[in-house]
Amino acid sequence: MELVYGHPKSLKPIQTKYCPGCGHGVIHRLITEVIDEMGMQEKSIILNPVGCSIWASLYFDFDSVQVPHGRTPAGATAVKRMLPDHLVICYQGDGDLAAIGTAEAVHAANRGEKFTTIFVNNAIYGMTGGQMAPTTLVGQKATTAPYGRDPIENGMGYPIRVLEMLATLGGTKYLARGAVNNAVNVRKTKQYIRKAFEAQMRGEGSSMVEILSQCPTNWAMEPADSVGWVESAMIPFYALGEIKNELADVAGKEAGK
């Protein structure tokens, strides 16, 4: 009988500590499905950030390195340079990547470091309890933006579109944005992850998949409402799709791009 569904080998069969409705669990699963399909479990290493996904090493069934907040791309740079035949995953949240670690993210991308960043953008600081993130939308409330993000009067700045910013850099070869708010987006996101991982193993340069993800707890929403908010509020600002695809593998490019 054909097996049509199973738990990924690379993901430990335990319940996560993530909140109900959180996107991390789905994203973990997508990563591990692709790793299993590529047969890379023994040669995968994840760099855990500081943030909710600091727990990642509990769930991924492969080696990990935990680095200081924002320094994930610096750590990943060196791990990949030392172990070029390994699949190196730099897992970052929006605070880690686009606030405290902007310099590391930009320069690793610019050097064309051959690891893949999985950038989980939920427009909020999760672990510390709902503070404003660099990707928080204008008007979105946070504990440190109690009246909503206000770029002008209170000088809170504008949400950063990370991929569009990195797309100008010579070192980036594959930048795609997906979401995990519905089945269609989940499937597309998995394709992006696969392309990025395969590009990494071909040594093509810097690759990043940004994933719009729900944080119902800190958004103060029911999980069901949070997936709707991704659709209605986030996706209009953070366009889904391949933002940059300069991969040598032309056949793998998204149709129409």
Partner 1 sequence: MAAEKRLMKGNEAMGEAAVRAGCDAYFGYPITPQNELTAYMAKHMIDHKRVFIQAESEVSAINMVYGAAATGARSMTSSSSPGVSLKQEGISYACGADVPMVVINVARSGPGLGGISPAQGDYFQSTRGGGHGDYHHIVLAPKSVQEAADLTFEAFDLADEWRMPAMILADGMIGQMMEGVVLPEPKDPATRVAKPWAVGNKGKRAELNHVDSTQLVPENFEKALHARYARYDEIKRTVARWEEQHLEDADVILSAYGTSARVCLGAMQMARKLGLKVGLLRPITLWPFPEKRFGELAGKRFLVVEMSMGQMVEDVRLYTHGKSEVSFYGRCGGMIPTEEDVLAEIRRILKK
Binding test (CB under 8 A) with partner 1, winner from 16, 36, 38, 65: 65
Distance CA 163, CA 241 (A): 11
Q: Does 71 sit near partner 1 (CB under 8 A)?
A: yes
By CB under 8 A, which span of 60-68, 141-149, 191-199, 213-221 interacts with partner 1?
Answer: 60-68
Q: Does 48 sit near partner 1 (CB under 8 A)?
A: yes
End-to-end CA distance of the chain: 39
Q: Does 103 sit near partner 1 (CB under 8 A)?
A: yes
Q: What tokens appear for 122 in the block?
A: 């939920």
- Least Cβ distance, residue 140 to partner 1 (angstroms): 29
By CB under 8 A, which span of 2-10, 74-82, 136-144, 188-196 interacts with partner 1?
Answer: 74-82
What are the strands, taking DSSP E only, across 98-152? 116-121
Question: Residues touching partner 1: how many (CB under 8 A)?
Answer: 31
Binding test (CB under 8 A) with partner 1, winner from 38, 111, 171, 225: 111
By CB under 8 A, which span of 29-37, 76-84, 131-139, 206-214 interacts with partner 1?
Answer: 76-84
Q: Does 36 sit near partner 1 (CB under 8 A)?
A: no
Comparing CA positions, the residue from 139, 146, 133, 54 lying closest to residue 91 is 54
- The torsion angles phi and psi of 234, rounded to 5 degrees, stand at -80, -50
Contact status, residue 178 vs residue 185, Cβ threshold 8 Å: yes
Q: Does 81 sit near partner 1 (CB under 8 A)?
A: yes
Contact status, residue 52 vs residue 22, Cβ threshold 8 Å: yes
Neighbours of 179 (CB within 10 A): 24
- Least Cβ distance, residue 107 to partner 1 (angstroms): 4
H or E element at residue 186: helix 183-201
**Interacting residue ranges for partner 1, rule: CB under 8 A:** 42-43, 45, 47-48, 54, 57, 61-68, 71, 74-79, 81-83, 86, 103-104, 106-107, 111
